[in-house]
A and B are shown apart, each in its own frame.
Chain A
Amino acid sequence: MAGGALYLEDGSVYAGSLAGAGQAVEGEVVFCTAMAGYSEALSDPSYAGQILVFTYPQIGNYGVRPEHLESGRFWARALVVRELSPMGPDDLGERCRREGVTVLTGVDTRALTRRLRQGGTAWGRIDRHEAPVGPPQPLSRWVERVVAAAAPPAPSEQGRRVTVVDFGRKGSILTILKRAGARVRVVPAAVDLDALLEDGTEGVVVSNGPGDPMDLDRFAPGIRRIAERLPTLGICLGHQLLGIAFGAKTRPLLFGHHGVNHPVRDLGTGLSYLTTHNHGYAVAPESLPPELVVTHEDLHDGTIEGIAVRGRRAWGVQFHPEAGPGPWDAHGILERFVAELGS
């Protein structure tokens, strides 16, 4: 293994060894605190273009299995870990090589995480030698690529007709919708969404995806027209775009929420549960228009984690009710969405 390091824009250096694809790469560096579920995260299109740091030190302990993937390939640009376990089936380091994902191992990921927590999300470069870092590239440009790469889902014939608007959806969203009794169809974000009003769609799910939602505001008007007419659920990026569609703004978080242990309070019941988060942006509270009400908030830092559109059957959740990876405590949000269609 060749020596290498992660160089951040502020000049800090985190030494390690190169593995996987072993190429020099740049990307936005984010840390994820999930202790398992690395296959799901690496294949989650929301991580497209990012350098993913796992805080848990030993990654790859149970290999890579196809049933754990959230999409057809790995999307993270690079993986930074303390230790890569060479375990079957389909050894993670080997898989990263095939997927073109650079791995930097042997890193003091806790030191790196502490830097990101204090200084905020950073742009970084993994290389053998020190080289100029940046400038940062917008990640939203990944949306089209991840959508184009997605394989069409297996058709489901029965149940309520739910159309998923794809910004880089995770496979788990479709799995849970189908299990909840939906007949799921996926359309790319770029299609004319007005068509959904005519094609028998009973409910719309606006998916997660990579990048800064404010860069994607061109999609907002379409989403608004849908949300005013059809039951609509936005997830993560979809939730942010729903907010933007009704006049809210999003803002970047200092270092984002990436993990599977974030408590979220349902303001309706007053009760909290654990959820999966993967967002570097959130709806800004001061930007909320009267049309929107906050339904969920993060128990730790008060971040808006859910909104509803007044008088409409349109909701957004910033967290991932589909989990994958993470706790299943919020599966009910997708299940109820399907169950209440047509009622």
Chain B
Amino acid sequence: MRDPGIRSVLVIGSGPIVIGQAAEFDYSGTQAVEALNEEGIRTLLVNSNPATIMTDPALSERVYLEPLTLDSVRRILERERPDGIVATVGGQMGLNLAVALSDAGVLDALGVRILGTGVAAIRRAEDREAFRALMLELREPIPRSVIVTDVQAGMTFADQVGLPLVVRPAYTLGGSGGGVARDAAALERVLSLGLEESPVHQVLLEESIAGQIEVEFEVVRDGAGQIVAVCHMENLDPMGIHTGDSIVCAPCQTLPDPVIQRLRSAAFRIVGALGVKGACNIQFGVDLNAGSYRVIEVNPRVSRSSALASKATGYPIARVAAKIAVGLRLDEIPNPITQTTTALFEPALDYVVVKVPRWPFDKFSAADRQLGTQMKSTGEVMAIERTFRAAIQKAFRSLDTDGDLVDSALEAVEEPVLWERARSADDRRLSVVMELLRRGAPLERIHRETNISRFFLAELLRIVESEAAVARAGADLDPELLRWAKREGLSDERIALATGQTEAQVRALRQRWGIRPVYKLVDTCAGEFAAVTPYYYGTYEQEDEVGPLDPPVVVVLGSGPIRIGQGIEFDACAVEAIGALRRRGVRAVMINSNPETVSTDWSRSDRLYFEPLRAEEVLEILDRERPAGVMVGVGGQTALNLARAVEAAGYPVLGTSAQVIDQAEDRGRFDALLQSIGIDRPRGVAAMTPAEAMERAGAVGYPLLVRPSYVLGGRAMRIVQDPTELLDALSAGSLGSGAILLDAYVEGAELEVDAVADGERVVVAGILQHIERAGVHSGDSIAVYPPRRLGPRIRARIVEMTRAISLGLGVRGHINIQYVLKDDRLQVIEANPRASRTIPFLEKVSGCPIVDLATQVGLGRGLAELGAPDGLWPEPPFVAVKCPVFSWSKLSIDARVGPEMQSTGEVIGIDPIYPRALKKALVAASLAPKPRAGVLVMASERQMGEAVGVARELEILGFGLYATDATHRALRAQGIRSERVPDVGEASPDAIDLVRGGRVGLIIDTRPPGEHEGRLLRRAATERRVPCLTSIDTARAMAEALDEVMEGPCLSLQEYQAGRTR
């Protein structure tokens, strides 16, 4: 029964998206809030991440967009006095915060309870020593291990047990700071890092069980002790690769029933002994030959895996966990899928689910692609099919990368190299395995070298064989063979490639021969009960289960996997668009392939198709649904790229047409438009070859911004100062084979607007001012709203230009435009006729319902009719700052901002006044140094003057300054005291030693990129979590924020929106 003593609850979100803690917690948090609302509970939410659905002010009674720190949550608790906290849906962040609040005595003092799984259980699961003791008590097998708090103890253990050893720091996200050490030197290095990473300075060293089968169980237990195993999942990649970086399938494919039951029973014993009340994830290593298993890890909260399990089965784990937290039993919670049964059951699947991670290596050519115990992927895709081999092909097609499961570039690679790469396991391993199979390598040998189970390899071999069969038929492809190939999972694209046709030809053949997919329901029960879930996947079978929806129907294209440059913001936009459609009585049909997100929660839309965002699958769905329109503007570039195919197939794109999108993306046509309406943009040319680029660069003049055309998140974008640097950029090979764009680089202030146009009116939702000057990617800049020190004349000019461009292009819906302002001259950098990543932030702080307006315009209504102002949306009486958050430490890449986007997430700071809003954002992004910490300053010659100014302010604020030679001299010349530190490698100890020694709390390093020493220093800084600012503008903002010592008011978003400022 629901605990009547719980009347109000604070839900803790997970903060910014970083590798290892991503959109899955928006999904779980949103579910939890909705589940609590259903129980009539007054729900409060705290999260510093504005790009989420859970922070939608319509969802919770009060949304606090505040830093997830002990101090700020304490203030909220003191003000709101809720009866309880739900901390298990906010990832490791939420869990750690709950423990910290408990330790600080805040909860006891305020009489606030942790609901669901309690602090004692969290501690027992999370604390390595306590967990190990519990496992020994339960006689559950665990890898031999030792917990160390210093390097020496670890080295001694290695002498006893031998190497390799796995290093796992306690209380960290996504295994950060951990790794496998194969030799003593590596062990020493990984150990000292791991100790540093762990907030409790504790590391688990354990026997390596690399090569075993990694299995996960998602378990839910209620307060009465009733337990269900919602899902079990098997990693295709054996133990040794982080499960977040592994290809995972559900249910387990290669484990006999007694093995599954043994693990399930072990999971139940462990979860029971811990006293979990809610969701729990348990990982096992399984050795089928030895008939043994090891318990690897327990996470007493919802997780990335539980989100995947929810989508894989249809069982809403976070929702059920939230209900349990307020006292309900599993058998008291209705199963929303069947509506006749309860949550006390275990889903049966009649399909195979495959998840494939999405890695950011296409953006970071310098990153180490080796996979191990530290997670590196930013997102994932999931695919559902009736066989493993069909599902994995579908999953790879969903990744939205240039690559595929079959990578033709590998055809040129020598076999010994392939074997080496198969063994060493980077992100492309499966394609390497496919290539080996294509060359006829023995399956048994691949199994031996990779430890990938024979079943999976046999399935991959079937893919190779089916491709070969289709290729043999070539032009003689007949209906029977084509139907068989589709059932095997081959895409039209692969069949086209194998038979020398175009994808459109294969599609036409299928249509002629009536070979079309059917859609089957995901119903949690394998058809045993009637279900009402509107959740479908496509496959080639006998019976279709999709009935017609009442018109009008609109299909919304999602954005696919989370990646740098196309993150959770687009999911937020898509979900909002769905809501906007449904509110107007339009059936909203969602297509997406990302299991982490809210948009793929089947209860969000009238119908969800879990399918790749590829022309083949999208067009098939459109042919089934016959929608009145398709929304391509809220799913990022992925959805936008499908606009042409959708229109060509005869389906109207709602709002802005494909032709307009083309015009905005086609440089020549866009330039012509700007010229015709008298708007400036930095001079630029397009070159088809590197030689042409070198030749035409001079005419534009340096510095230059170089990039490939059709970019996403500034991929492969660089600023070059002279011909030598240009040559270097051109020969780096990252520019692709298409046109190369060369633009004059204007080092001015960057401004960005989001607007909605209807062909007559243009409402500018807001102007965002970037702190960093142009040259730092807009997604990596700190943005301020409303803009500061921007005169009415410039504002008016921005609105006017936005109007001219929107109307000139013929935009009907979203548009995002970036401007650069220098010496009072406003120029356009780029315009994107789609929803942008700033919309969720801007909507919340401006109050302008951007997505709703754009959606209604798409449905044919005018802005005037909707009551939207023509021009700038009124600005609020407070300031909001959006600050990027990076995952540099996970990827071992240079922590330096530039024209290419690198951030994975964002946080917000809101306050009535700017410096405090800025400070909040910096604190939420973990950038602010502790008071009186050391600051290491290294400035470029060009910006020395500005750096001296920043240093002076920091000195006044009481920070101790360190500087390398040139900067030290410049500071001394201005009478600023600093300690001179030898630059990297100059002498010993040098700047790196200083950082490693823990004496530096902030680094300001604005020296030019490309210096080896700078990279090493920044690497050391990220490893130690020392914030490193590489733009002088960020540093200046930091100094200004740190100057603010007064605390602002503690207010919810709703209160800010209502105009309250104190």
Contact = CB atoms under 8 A, between A and B. Distances in A.
Interface of A: 14-15, 31, 33-37, 39-40, 55-58, 61-62, 65, 67-68, 82-83, 85-88, 106-111, 113-114, 117, 259-263, 265, 270-274, 299-300, 323-329
A325 B261 CA distance: 8
Interface in B245-271: 251-258, 260-261, 264-265, 268
A117 B386 contact: no
B297 to A, nearest CB: 23
A261 B255 contact: no
B351 A57 contact: yes
B1044 interface: no
Contacts of B455: 61-62, 85, 87
B257 A274 contact: no
Given A65-B256, A108-B543, A111-B541, A300 B352 contact: no
B345 A300 contact: yes
Contacts of B258: 67-68, 325
B528 A117 contact: yes
Contact of B348 (A33, A299, A325): A33
Given A55-B527, A113-B350, A263-B345, A62 B542 contact: no
Contacts of B930: none
B526 A55 contact: yes
A117 B257 contact: no
B757 to A, nearest CB: 46
Contacts of A82: 386-387
B490 to A, nearest CB: 16
B388 interface: yes
B387 A83 contact: yes
A108 B541 CA distance: 6
B254 A61 contact: yes
A263 B542 CA distance: 31
B458 interface: yes
Interface residues of B, number: 51
A61 B213 CA distance: 15
Interface in B374-413: 386-388
A85 B349 CA distance: 17
B344 A263 contact: yes
B541 A299 contact: no
B387 A58 contact: yes
The prevalent SS among residues of B at the interface is: loop
Nearest to B330: A272
Contact of B349 (A56, A114, A299, A328): A56
Given A110-B541, A113-B526, A299 B260 contact: no
A224 to B, nearest CB: 34
Contact of B255 (A58, A62, A262): A62
A114 B526 contact: no
Given A87-B454, A109-B350, A14 B252 contact: no
A201 B253 CA distance: 43
Interface string B182-198: 00000000000000000
B543 A300 contact: no
Contacts of B264: 327-328
A62 B458 CA distance: 12
A113 B253 CA distance: 21
Nearest to A172: B258
Given A85-B455, A109-B350, A36 B542 contact: no
Interface stretch (B220-228, B273-281, B733-741): B220-228
B284 to A, nearest CB: 15
Contacts of A111: 541-543
Interface string B85-99: 000000000000000
Given A83-B386, A113-B526, A327-B264, 16 more contacts: A15-B542, A33-B526, A33-B527, A36-B255, A36-B257, A58-B386, A62-B255, A82-B386, A87-B454, A109-B350, A260-B348, A261-B346, A261-B347, A324-B257, A326-B261, A328-B261
Contacts of B520: 110
Contacts of B526: 33, 55-56, 110, 113, 259
A310 B662 CA distance: 80
Contacts of B341: 299-300
Contacts of B251: 35-36, 56
Contacts of A67: 258
A180 B255 CA distance: 26
Contact of B543 (A56, A114, A117, A323): A114
Contacts of A65: 256
A77 B833 CA distance: 62
A106 B256 CA distance: 22
Contacts of A328: 261, 264-265
A323 B258 CA distance: 9
Interface in B301-325: none
Contacts of A68: 256-258
Contacts of B345: 261-263, 274, 299-300
A256 to B, nearest CB: 10
